[in-house]
């Protein structure tokens, strides 16, 4: 690609473009590279092309206006050419910076059939012909001189050809001020500054609203009912908002020390000045609807661990700021601060995360359950830290609750005695519900909170107590292991519902070889089943391996399902996997009644190892924190 400076003659242009028609030469000669008319005649030795009515050429750029230094391409579409290999498109781009000459390269071609007769017209015998249409493009280029540019193109195939032309504008780089809602910014304009688009504010978190200061003046009169004083300066602003693929602009007048409403936002003006060199003012855009700057999500990798092991979580921080659609805009790096609270263990995670605008960053949280450290509850006093830690700790029974309360009192007394750190005592618990908070550094309004669950199981677990109420109980086995009747009598009645047979079986019938046989124990941990007790009692279960929600695969219709330990603290929607449940009911044994729940229901400790029934639209797989593959096709009814 060559660039020829100002003063190029028509003869040189025509020679570089190989050939042209008389009409094309006249159009080109009307505007030389220097912007002057060149009346030099076309030499006889310059070949001309014969305009062909069957060939059409269109030349264009992707948009009509570019900034200095912005890359662009010249494109063309040629229709009706017969031999693509013998076709050449030459282009000249002429403007204040000189002239560019180059050939376009064909990128894609497609053929279509066109007939002279209307489609499906009976009796029409006119022939159809195949029309070839090809797209062409240049290499990327840029221009350094602002002004108006013209594109002249000539297509030549053998002795035939055609011409086309287009125009575009190159302007100075805009002096954009990238601001956010609630942030003060200054706009000014010089009397000698006539370039369009200079000193423009772009509100990047409100759909790239653009604000340009047009004038600062003292109005002669004020419209009736308007907030206006002839003795006070007023700013005349042009405000633009995106509407689909176009921009909508409005002009508003804002008095000094007041605000004006436009596009559901208020623009405040302050310190308006008019002086010898120009005029200026300080502005701020406020929109009272809450802005969601950031999202945080916590996904467990291993949320249930034995005491002494490490639990791992993925923390995902997503910046929700819209990216300004400004040429050459470089994404800014936003610093977010992370805070994990509610866990009395040693935590390893980055306290600060840098995220590019509009992007997502994932970091890791590792919880070492072998090391007890200070309970991290955020920006609270030490006494409040201990109290909140006890409040957020999920205790299993009354004895543990009492121990936790004693610990809280002891820690409070230690703080009162000027002990530097409030250290959490190792209280054996089954679960913790902890909080992860993200806050943008220097902008506390940009924050979000997520909650997660941690289960810590003793290396040598005590036997799990299964409380049985008087009457009907819908329970499940906690996992693989063995059960003891303890103080429960052998006269209890137990029934399982086998969906394949769509009927109830007594436990004795289900254990027979022609029903479930050796599969009964596995069935009882993956489903819930009925027990009728004549008196309240307590069974004991020696757990070897806990059942996970990821092992549950409901079938279409009603299912008897268990509440597993990794469902506690999660909503039904979070553990449903790819299941769509039409109706879900928990059995409340203490009330001897069904309790209908929605998808937002969060399973609690009292639900653990109890059962519920759910009606699924289709066969599916439950689970959370993992991708669930689609279920196999359902069996025919």
Q: For residues 507 and 18, which has the higher predicted lDDT (pLDDT)? A: 507
Instruction: Identify the residue whose tokens are 């305009």.
Output: 51
The share of the chain scoring above pLDDT 90, in percent, equals 24
Q: Which domain holds residue 333?
A: 294-457
Are residues 76 and 105 located together in one domain of the fold?
Answer: yes
Are residues 33 and 148 located together in one domain of the fold?
Answer: yes
Are residues 206 and 96 located together in one domain of the fold?
Answer: no
What is the rounded average pLDDT of the residues 295-316?
A: 88
Q: For residues 274 and 522, which has the higher predicted lDDT (pLDDT)? A: 522
Q: What is the CATH number of the domain that holds 83?
A: 2.60.40.10
Are residues 162 and 23 located together in one domain of the fold?
Answer: yes
Q: Tell me if 629 is assigned to some domain.
A: no
Are residues 256 and 402 located together in one domain of the fold?
Answer: no
- Give the model's pLDDT for residue 527: 94
Are residues 276 and 308 located together in one domain of the fold?
Answer: no
Q: Tell me if 626 is assigned to some domain.
A: no
User: Where a domain ends, among 457, 476, 492?
Assistant: 457
Q: How far apart are CA 259 and CA 253, in angstroms?
A: 9
- Given a cut of 50, whether residue 240 has pLDDT beyond it is yes
Are residues 474 and 583 located together in one domain of the fold?
Answer: yes
Are residues 374 and 237 located together in one domain of the fold?
Answer: no
What is the rounded average pLDDT of the residues 338-364?
A: 91
Which two three-digit tokens encode residue 551? Answer: 């092992």
Give φ, ψ of 370 to 5 degrees. Answer: -90, -15
Number of domains in the chain: 4
Are residues 547 and 442 located together in one domain of the fold?
Answer: no
Weakest-pLDDT range from 326-335, 336-345, 444-453, 540-549? 326-335
For the chain, how many residues are written? 637
- Give the model's pLDDT for residue 395: 36
Q: For residues 181 and 398, which has the higher predicted lDDT (pLDDT)? A: 181
Weakest-pLDDT range from 43-47, 84-88, 242-246, 535-539? 43-47
Are residues 236 and 318 located together in one domain of the fold?
Answer: no
Are residues 493 and 607 located together in one domain of the fold?
Answer: yes
Q: Tell me if 499 is assigned to some domain.
A: yes
Weakest-pLDDT range from 69-83, 521-535, 598-612, 614-628? 614-628
Q: How far apart are CA 548 and CA 300, in angstroms?
A: 14
Helices 382-392 + 398-416 axis angle, to 10: 170
Which of the listed ranges 18-32, 269-283, 300-314, 594-608 does the model predict with the highest average pLDDT?
594-608
User: Where a domain ends, among 227, 258, 286?
Assistant: 286
387: three-class secondary structure by DSSP: helix
Distances (CA, A) of 120 to 116, 129, 351: 11, 16, 72
- DSSP annotation of 633: P
Q: What is the CATH number of the domain that holds 273?
A: 2.60.98
User: Where a domain ends, among 227, 252, 286?
Assistant: 286
What's the predicted TM-score (pTM) here?
0.37
Q: For residues 596 and 99, which has the higher predicted lDDT (pLDDT)? A: 596
Q: Tell me if 88 is assigned to some domain.
A: yes
- Given a cut of 50, whether residue 514 has pLDDT beyond it is yes
- Give the model's pLDDT for residue 476: 93
Which of the listed ranges 122-126, 231-235, 470-474 does the model predict with the highest average pLDDT?
470-474
R_g of the chain, CA atoms, integer Å: 38
Q: Tell me if 240 is assigned to some domain.
A: yes
What is the rounded average pLDDT of the residues 292-321?
A: 88
Q: Tell me if 206 is assigned to some domain.
A: yes
**Burial grade of 278 (CB within 10 A; 0-12, 13-18, 19 or more):** middle
**The pairing of beta strand 200-203 with beta strand 176-179:** parallel
65: region left, alpha or beta (phi > 0 left; psi from -120 to 50 alpha): beta
Q: Tell me if 235 is assigned to some domain.
A: yes
Q: Tell me if 625 is assigned to some domain.
A: no
Confidence of residue 5 (pLDDT cuts 50, 70, 90): very low
Instruction: Identify the residue whose tokens are 């499906």.
Output: 120
Q: How far apart are CA 21 and CA 443, in angstroms?
A: 64
pLDDT tens digits, residue range 472-503? 999 999 988 888 888 898 888 999 998 888 88
Cβ atoms within 10 Å, residue 77: 14
What is the rounded average pLDDT of the residues 458-472?
A: 80
- Give the model's pLDDT for residue 354: 95
- Given a cut of 70, whether residue 306 has pLDDT beyond it is yes
- Given a cut of 90, whether residue 222 has pLDDT beyond it is no
Which two three-digit tokens encode residue 234? Answer: 């007023």
Are residues 483 and 521 located together in one domain of the fold?
Answer: yes
């Amino acid at each position: 690609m060559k660039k020829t400076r100002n003063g190029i003659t028509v003869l040189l242009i025509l020679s570089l473009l190989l050939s042209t028609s008389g009409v094309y030469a006249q159009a080109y000669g009307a505007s030389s590279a220097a912007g002057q008319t060149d009346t030099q005649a076309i030499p006889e030795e310059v070949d001309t092309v014969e305009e062909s009515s069957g060939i059409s050429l269109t030349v264009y750029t992707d948009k009509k206006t570019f900034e200095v230094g912005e890359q662009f391409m010249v494109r063309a579409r040629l229709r009706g050419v017969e031999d693509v290999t013998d076709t050449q498109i030459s282009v000249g781009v002429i403007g204040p910076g000189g002239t560019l000459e180059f050939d376009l390269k064909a990128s894609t071609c497609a053929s279509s059939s066109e007939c002279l007769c209307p489609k499906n017209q009976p009796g029409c015998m006119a022939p159809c012909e195949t029309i070839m249409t090809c797209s062409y493009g240049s290499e990327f280029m840029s221009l350094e001189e602002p002004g108006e540019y013209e594109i002249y193109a000539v297509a030549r195939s053998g002795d035939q050809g055609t011409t086309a032309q287009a125009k575009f504008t190159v302007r100075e780089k805009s002096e954009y001020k990238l601001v956010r809602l609630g942030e003060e910014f200054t706009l000014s304009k010089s009397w000698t500054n006539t370039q369009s688009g200079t000193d423009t504010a772009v509100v990047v978190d409100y759909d790239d609203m653009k604000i340009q200061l047009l004038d600062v003046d003292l109005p002669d009169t004020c419209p009736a009912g308007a907030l206006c004083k002839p003795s006070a300066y007023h700013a005349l602003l042009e405000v633009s908002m995106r509407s689909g693929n176009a921009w909508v602009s409005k002009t508003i007048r804002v008095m000094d020390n007041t605000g004006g409403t436009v596009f559901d936002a208020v623009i405040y003006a302050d310190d308006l000045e008019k002086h010898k060199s120009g005029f200026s003012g300080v502005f701020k855009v406020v929109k009272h609807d809450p802005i969601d700057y950031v999202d945080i999500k916590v996904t467990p990798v291993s949320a249930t661990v034995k005491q002494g092991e490490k639990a791992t979580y993925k923390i995902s921080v997503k910046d929700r700021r819209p990216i300004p659609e400004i040429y050459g805009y470089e994404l800014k790096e936003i610093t977010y601060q992370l805070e994990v609270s509610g866990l009395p263990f040693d935590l390893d995670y980055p306290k600060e995360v840098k995220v590019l605008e509009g992007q997502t960053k994932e970091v890791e949280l590792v919880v070492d359950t072998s090391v007890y450290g200070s309970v991290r509850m955020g920006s609270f006093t030490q006494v409040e830290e201990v109290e909140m830690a006890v409040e957020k700790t999920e205790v299993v029974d009354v004895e543990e609750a009492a121990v936790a309360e004693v610990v809280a009192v002891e820690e409070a007394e230690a703080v009162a005695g000027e002990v530097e750190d409030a250290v959490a005592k190792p209280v054996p618990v089954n679960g913790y519900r902890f909080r992860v908070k993200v806050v943008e550094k220097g902008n506390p309004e940009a924050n979000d909170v997520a909650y997660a669950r941690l289960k810590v199981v003793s290396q040598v677990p005590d036997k799990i107590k299964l409380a049985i109420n008087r009457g009907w109980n819908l329970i499940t086995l906690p996992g693989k292991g063995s059960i003891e009747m303890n103080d429960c009598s052998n006269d209890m009645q137990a029934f399982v519902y086998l969906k394949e047979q769509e009927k109830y079986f007594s436990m004795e019938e289900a254990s027979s070889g022609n029903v479930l046989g050796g599969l009964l124990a596995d069935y009882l941990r993956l489903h819930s089943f009925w027990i009728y007790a004549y008196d309240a009692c307590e069974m004991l279960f020696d757990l070897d391996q806990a059942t996970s929600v990821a092992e549950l695969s409901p079938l279409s219709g009603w299912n008897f399902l268990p509440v597993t330990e990794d469902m506690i603290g999660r909503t039904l929607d979070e553990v449903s996997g790819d299941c769509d449940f039409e109706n879900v009911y928990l059995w409340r044994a203490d009330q001897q009644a069904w309790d209908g729940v929605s998808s937002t229901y969060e399973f609690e400790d009292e639900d653990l190892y109890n059962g519920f029934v759910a009606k699924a639209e289709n066969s599916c797989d439950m689970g959370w924190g993992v991708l669930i593959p689609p279920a196999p096709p359902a069996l025919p009814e």
